[in-house]
A and B are shown apart, each in its own frame.
Chain A
Amino acid sequence: MDRKQDAREVAWLQAARDGDREAFSRLVERYQRPVFGLCYRMLNDAQAAEDAAQETFLRAYRHLQRYDMRRSFATWLLSIAAHHCIDLLRRKRLATVSLDDEANAWRPPVEPGLSPEAQVIRRQREEQLRALLASLSPKDRAVVVLYYWYDCSCGEIASTLSLTESAVKSRLFRARRELAERWLAQQEQELPQPATEGVGCESSAI
């Protein structure tokens, strides 16, 4: 996502701050995808993500006067969305929705050009990703999503999530280890392998 603000965006922001709803609607159109994407990756449910993304834009609209124009608007929006999703996950524990809810939940459509086999593979990957991200704490999940899908640096993530940079690095490290272990466990469940001999690492392996 491009986090640099062009002149047109600055003009929309200024107009929106002066009460122009149309200008803010243009900002909604521009940022709907990254905000919805973050909410979807965080909440693992398209309907909840839609609500969270709508709420994010509403909060941004209400507090637009507090927005510092020197900061990136995209980062500010993502910060609102991430905090809102973290609060939702902590309060409602959306990560542990029932299987019925999961089955009935609306999901974003896959690309129309994909073959049925490719669509099935994509669905499987989405499920795999859903299970991986669900194993992380809300804040670790936000760190991972911002790092991998938004190309945010640790400093930007720290600024977005109100953390220190070292805390972000620590969370990222912990999350990656958890994800790697989960991924390996998923692979073992899918393809049962014979027990490996000698697995383990001596502290003085080298």
Chain B
Amino acid sequence: MSHLQFERWLLDSEGLSGEQQRALEAHLEACPRCRQMQAGMRGVEALFGTLDLPEPRPGFARRWEMRLDAYLRAERDRRYRRQVGLSLFVLLVAVVGLAVVFTLQLVGVTAAWVDVLVGALYRLFAVLSVLGAWQNLFSILWKAIGHWIPPVLWGSLFAMAGALSALWLGWLARWVTLSRRVSL
């Protein structure tokens, strides 16, 4: 049988059978190390047996009640702080909610502006379409007149327009020159 088995029997918390006890005693007679271990274990258990559990200082229960009071007070404060925190959170949520509602209302106003803009654009397109219609009308008239007026008359009309333009440009240049002289 291995030495470890005897060591286990020596230190085990369970009781030994008669045969195991005899085998152990025989082993102890031959093994000084196990005898030492047995002596050590007996010494430890004897030491444990001489020392009872110590008593707490007098007034333990009273000190515990004071500690409980302090704990309950701290718990009440913590609950109060939690309630205040919760209230502040609710207030914050309300403020954020109001801000969201206000923003949505502002977006509603903005939506009206968009409507105005869309309306204006619609009117602009309507005006442009009217102008387009007038352009078509004038282009038809122009074509009709073009076929009705002879080319000589067209030439005379363009010459007259050119002469008038030259006169106007000359008068404009003269007016600018006179203005410079007056300012000097």
Chain A residues at the B interface, C-beta cutoff of 8 Å: 21, 25, 28-29, 32-34, 36-38, 40-41, 46, 49-50, 53-54, 57-58, 61, 106-108, 122, 125-126, 128-129, 132, 147-149, 154, 169, 172-173, 176-177, 179-181, 183-184, 187, 196, 198-203, 205-206
Contacts and interface: CB of A to CB of B under 8 A. Distances in A.
B36 interface: yes
Nearest to B11: A176
A25 B61 contact: yes
A46 B8 CA distance: 35
B11 A50 contact: no
A114 to B, nearest CB: 12
14 contacts: A25-B61, A29-B61, A36-B53, A46-B54, A50-B56, A50-B57, A50-B60, A125-B51, A129-B48, A132-B47, A173-B12, A176-B41, A179-B44, A180-B41
Contacts of B45: 148
Contacts of A29: 60-61
Contact of A183 (B14, B47, B53): B47
A183 to B, nearest CB: 5
A202 B12 contact: no
Chain B interface mostly: helix
B177 interface: no
Interface in B1-19: 1-3, 7-8, 11-14
What band does the interface of chain B fall in when counting residues whose beta carbon is under 8 Å from A? 35 or more
Contacts of B23: 206
Question: Which of B12, B37, B40 lies at the interface centre, i.e. has the most chain A CB atoms within 10 A of its CB?
Answer: B40
A205 B3 contact: yes
A57 B64 contact: yes
Nearest to A121: B50
A34 B31 CA distance: 40
Chain A interface mostly: helix
B152 interface: no
Nearest to B29: A206
Interface in B65-79: 65, 67-68, 71
B67 A54 contact: yes
Given A128-B47, A205-B27, A37 B53 contact: yes
A176 B51 CA distance: 17
Contacts of A200: 32-33
Contact of A28 (B34, B50, B60): B60
A147 B64 CA distance: 27
Contact of A21 (B3, B50, B65): B65
Contact of B44 (A21, A53, A58, A132): A132
A19 B134 CA distance: 96
Contacts of B48: 129, 148-149
